[in-house]
Amino acid sequence: MASPRALLARVARLEQAKVSVLVRLIGSIEQFEVSVISGIENETLDSRDMPIVLASVRRWADL
């Protein structure tokens, strides 16, 4: 049986690995929101589609 110290080390590694795929792809939700809003204002992103994309990303992040 593994020692308590080894088990605690394993738990610490597993907790560090709990970074969501979403955060790995886009960074924080706040950073993504700022970039989307600036892209809409600069007209590089579609003002009709991107609010829907942003709402979907927010909902996905809340899961």
Rounded to 5°, the CA angle 22-25-29 comes to 55
**pLDDT score recorded for residue 55:** 93
7 located within any domain: no
As for how many domains the chain has, the answer is 1
Which residue would you say has higher pLDDT here, 57 or 2?
57
15 located within any domain: no
**pLDDT score recorded for residue 10:** 87
HSE value, Cβ hemisphere, 13 Å, CA-based, for 45 = 17
Buried b (16+ CB within 10 A) or exposed e, 4-20: eeeeeeeeeeeeeeeee
| Domain region containing 36 | 20-62
pLDDT digits (tens, 9 = 90+) for 5-63: 988 888 888 777 676 777 778 888 899 999 999 999 999 999 999 999 999 988 888 76
30 located within any domain: yes
Query: Tokens at residue 42, please?
Result: 């600069």
